[in-house]
Amino acid sequence: MSLFDDIALPPTAASAAGEALIEGLNPPQREAVLHHGSPLLIVAGAGSGKTRVLTHRIAYLLAERNVQTHQVLAITFTNKAAAEMRERVQALIGPRAKAMWVSTFHSACVRILRREAGSVGLKSGFSIYDAADSQRLMAMVVRELDLDPKRYPPRAFSTQVSNLKNELVDEETFAARSAEGDHTTRMLASAYSFYQRRLRQANALDFDDLIMTTVNILQAFPAVAEHYRRRFRHVLVDEYQDTNHAQYVLVRELTRGVPAVTTQSGMSAAVPAAELCVVGDADQSIYAFRGASIRNIVEFEQDYPDARTILLEQNYRSTQTILQAANAVIAGNSARTPKKLWTDSGAGPQIVGYVADSEHDEAAFVARQIGDLRRDHGVTPGDVAVFYRTNAMSRAVEEVFVRVGLPYKVVGGTRFYERREVKDALAYLRVIANPTDTVNLRRIINVPKRGIGERAEACIAQLAEREGIGFVQALAMPQDAPGIAARSVTAITAFTRLLEDLRTVYEGGSGVAGLLEAVLEQSGYLAQLRGSPDPQDETRLDNLSELLSVAREFDEAAVADGVSTSLDDFLERVSLVADADEIPDHADEADGADQGVITLMTLHTAKGLEFPVVFLVGLEEGTFPHQRALTGGDPKELEEERRLAYVGITRARQRLHISRAVVRAAWGQPQYFPESRFVAEVPSALIDWQRVEPSRYGGADRSGDRAGARSGGRYGDREPALATLAARPGSRSPGNRPVIALEPGDRVSHDAFGLGSVVRIEGSGDKAMAHVDFGGGQVKRLLLRYAPLEKL
DNA sequence: GCACGAGCCCTTTTT
DNA sequence: GGGCTCGTGC
């Protein structure tokens, strides 16, 4: 029985071949594939086959609507998703899909910028700075501006600059706008413009620049814009709910039509606006923190008045139980267009719940449960995923998995390309590709140690400033640097010589791998690691050898495709891939020996994926929803947390497990956490609790226990981990208390001062402070994080 | 110039 | 439990 039974005539394709391309799709899905002309918004619930629809639509355009491959631009959220989409289209219509542009926004912009960089004075071999590089550069700028990094943290500046760029606010506009602002705003403005200047000098672009600069070029150079508007007749965007303003404008610019114009060389034909098709789910918008704007999807129909909207609500992924839980949680968000996912698959097993004493106990539960599922239901490790709110939480799970011998892979976290040794090696390559890349140059100038210290570096920087030349040029004439030691001059000469030699190696046709080998060998990097007593350096060597094989693969692929290998291409690739692009393919490995590995990742990384068995750990107030969303004072943040919960729940196909730890170590110290509100929102009939919070009363009354957890651990002595903590009531080590919510007028009790009443509260979060009147004219100011206070 | 240790922030989430 | 900065001693 389906909702569509009363729809008389499902859409049909024009031809038999076309009919084959929409076979097996339900009526709204077919309609989305076949839709013609006006902009199209596909509002798709979780697991409703949106990527499938997009894939089939592209195939249909190419096979049935006479669209050329080069006329299609498809934007996905990750490179991995792009690769999959290209493969699927190929499977449907053959190899000509290969030439189609399917990529992330960032990769697409790099391709455009490579061609058009000259128009904004960039050399085409520009470096791409990731978030860490940007922060490093911002730190240099803050130092240069003589600002106190404590008052003006480069991190915060970096984020704010990123936000401005996502809003397409350039540094001049911002400087003009903030001239009247407060001191911090003006400092931010100068940091922004200095930062941009330094980026340009380094011939580098940061992640946000990739989009913003592309938009700027399209808007400033009509001929360039026209080129792409004529070219792309179909623009398709997946995960539209996670696009930011700059990306929105980029899409608008690309899809605009071209009017007919008469020029000296004749008449150019008009081109109508490109067909735009976007897919998204407002309930899965989880990237507002980096500028994603839900308005892009909610107001699509206002932005494009002739737009058509198609709703996909049937879920093909999860059981009814899982969907009910997801629907219940997301319903807690106000101001959303109600959308009810439904499925005609069965109820499936109940959600399994577990309340652990500690994060170790919780991890042990996960491991036990996986063992049971393996034994009783033939579940393989590759079927299982564990999701958590923050990267740091993977550690507890990993420890247990290592101990019991479960195979796993952590996706994200300290990413491969963010490891120190990998970044160092890549910095050498970047400097060789782009000699003006100061950030990377200064990164490796003394790595491994070669006697060019801070002092020498400062002398060179001073020389550069005095002569009005770049840092690189100054480095070529160290003897002219004011006050430099003779020893340093020798060291610097040897260093520049090294770089020249390496450049020669590459120009001699070494390929990227050959160059990388030369870098590691000749710089002494390998020698240093090999000779190190630090066991960590062992894994560093492994990582470098892994990087070397990535380079080899790249060279080989270039040879196979008959393309001339380019260092720029290699660097671009490693700059833009996330570890999310290396998620193991679990589904198709189930034949015998290779049973895949358990996937560990954050909820954010989980977007767009699905697993038969999912564990959601750390469902605690303060962990998930995250403390910052609770104390930030912005209800929007809490809504985003809820959407994140919705995303997490809907990743599961068959079995969902939710768990929490009553006590979790934060900053090395144990801290109490009450149950997450998201758990309470799931109808209790859906959950099979295997263990609930232990209480001193021995009962399973969860509401009573919650109060206990909040006010400071009255726990039974059956549970060892808790007994230890409970043994010293009121004197728990400082800094690890939950910050209790207090209001003026509340009655409180203090271990030492006795009874009192709250006069006022100042600050929030970790810095929340209460003024408490304990009588006798004694008003104490107490930091809630430290004070042994209990609300009465 | 560099190695080492103490003290300091930290932690959301990522293309 | 970690990564970074600063001070100290060589």
Which pLDDT tens digit goes with each residue over A558-580?
887 777 668 988 998 888 877 66
Whether omega before A625 lies within 30 degrees of 0, making that bond cis, reads yes
Please report, as a single letter, which amino acid is at residue A203: N
Q: How many Å apart are CA A574 and CA A419, to the nearest integer?
A: 13
pLDDT at A617 over 70: yes
Question: For strand B, is any atom closer than 7 Å to the CB of A79?
Answer: yes
The owner of tokens 């060789």 is A432
Mind listing the pLDDT tens digit for each residue in A424-452?
999 999 999 999 998 899 889 888 888 88
Q: How many Å apart are CA A310 and CA A38, to the nearest integer?
A: 12
DSSP state of A308: E
Q: How many Å apart are CA A411 and CA A599, to the nearest integer?
A: 7
Say if CB A101 and CB A72 are below 8 A apart: yes
Say if CB A572 and CB A358 are below 8 A apart: no
Distance, Å, A526 CA → B1 C1': 22
Active site residue A376: no
The protein footprint on chain B, as nucleotides within 7 A of a CB, is: 1-3, 9-15
CA A299 and chain centroid, separation: 25
Query: From the CB of residue A99, how many other CB atoms can be counted at a distance below 10 Å?
Result: 11
Q: Which nucleotide is nearest to A399 (CA to C1')?
A: C1
- Note the residue count of chain A: 792
Average pLDDT of span A371-390 = 93
Dihedral (Cα; A90, A93, A99, A100), 10-degree rounding: -90
Beta-bridge mates of residue A410: A600
Say if CB A638 and CB A681 are below 8 A apart: no
- Annotate A468-483 with b (16+ C-beta within 10 A) or e (fewer): eebbbebbebbeebee
Which pLDDT score is estimated for A485? 85
pLDDT at A545 over 60: yes
Q: pTM to 2 decimals?
A: 0.82
Q: Which of A64, A206, A238, A362 is catalytic?
A: A238
Q: How many Å apart are CA A435 and CA A202, to the nearest integer?
A: 8
Both tokens of residue A589? 């490995």
Mind listing the pLDDT tens digit for each residue in A158-210?
989 999 999 999 999 999 998 888 888 888 899 999 999 989 988 999 999 99
Mapped onto helix, strand or coil, the DSSP state of residue A347 is coil
Q: Which nucleotide is nearest to A395 (CA to C1')?
A: C1
Q: Which of A71, A76, A284, A650 is catalytic?
A: A284
Active site residue A321: no
Range of weakest confidence among A371-380, A508-517, A521-530, A780-789: A780-789
What is the longest distance spanned by two Cα atoms in chain A?
94
The CA-based angle A663-A666-A669, given to 5 degrees, is 80
In this prediction, residue A57 has a pLDDT band, given cuts at 50, 70 and 90, of very high
Say if CB A166 and CB A289 are below 8 A apart: no
3-state helix, strand, coil in chain A (%, to 5): 50, 15, 35
The protein footprint on chain C, as nucleotides within 7 A of a CB, is: 1, 3, 5
In this prediction, residue A379 has a pLDDT band, given cuts at 50, 70 and 90, of very high
Active site residue A636: no
Both tokens of residue A133? 């590089």
Which pLDDT score is estimated for A206? 92
pLDDT at A505 over 90: yes
Range of weakest confidence among A19-28, A315-324, A630-639: A630-639
Which pLDDT score is estimated for A274? 92
Average pLDDT of span A106-126 = 89
Residues with Cβ within 8 Å of A89's Cβ and at least 6 positions away in sequence, in order, are A55, A58, A59, A62, A97, A100, A102
Question: For strand B, is any atom closer than 7 Å to the CB of A580?
Answer: yes
Which pLDDT score is estimated for A748? 65
Which pLDDT score is estimated for A744? 64
Q: How many Å apart are CA A430 and CA A423, to the nearest integer?
A: 10
pLDDT at A703 over 80: no
Decide the pairing of beta strands A266-268 and A261-263.
antiparallel
Distance, Å, A316 CA → B14 C1': 28
Active site residue A50: yes
Which pLDDT score is estimated for A403? 87
Enumerate residues near strand C (beta carbon within 7 A). Answer: A 139, 395, 399, 414, 667-668
Which pLDDT score is estimated for A395? 86
HSE (side-chain half, CA atoms, 13 Å) at A198: 26
Distance, Å, A394 CA → C2 C1': 15
Please report, as a single letter, which amino acid is at residue A324: Q
- CA neighbor of A425 nearest in space, from A636, A416, A26: A416
Q: Which nucleotide is nearest to A640 (CA to C1')?
A: B13
Radius of gyration of chain A (CA): 29
Q: Which nucleotide is nearest to A667 (CA to C1')?
A: C1
pLDDT at A141 over 90: no
Say if CB A616 and CB A404 are below 8 A apart: no
Q: How many Å apart are CA A553 and CA A559, to the nearest integer?
A: 10
Distance, Å, A531 CA → C10 C1': 22
Share of chain A above pLDDT 70, in %: 84
Query: From the CB of residue A224, how many other CB atoms can be counted at a distance below 10 Å?
Result: 17
A678 exposure class (CB count in 10 Å sphere: 0-12, 13-18, 19+): buried
Which pLDDT score is estimated for A370? 95
Please report, as a single letter, which amino acid is at residue A785: R
Q: Which of A239, A383, A517, A555 is catalytic?
A: A239
CA A756 and chain centroid, separation: 46
Say if CB A732 and CB A669 are below 8 A apart: no
- First and final C-alpha spacing in chain A: 55
Q: How many Å apart are CA A455 and CA A613, to the nearest integer?
A: 56
Say if CB A336 and CB A646 are below 8 A apart: no
Question: For strand B, is any atom closer than 7 Å to the CB of A643?
Answer: no
Average model confidence (pLDDT) across chain A = 83
- CA neighbor of A606 nearest in space, from A640, A576, A649: A649
Distance, Å, A259 CA → B10 C1': 55
Mind listing the pLDDT tens digit for each residue in A658-697?
999 998 887 767 888 899 999 999 999 999 999 987 763 3
Residue nearest to nucleotide B13 (CA to C1'): A604
Active site residue A651: yes
Q: Which nucleotide is nearest to A669 (CA to C1')?
A: C1
A:434-493 Cβ neighbours of strand B under 7 Å: 446, 449-456, 485, 487-488
pLDDT at A253 over 90: yes
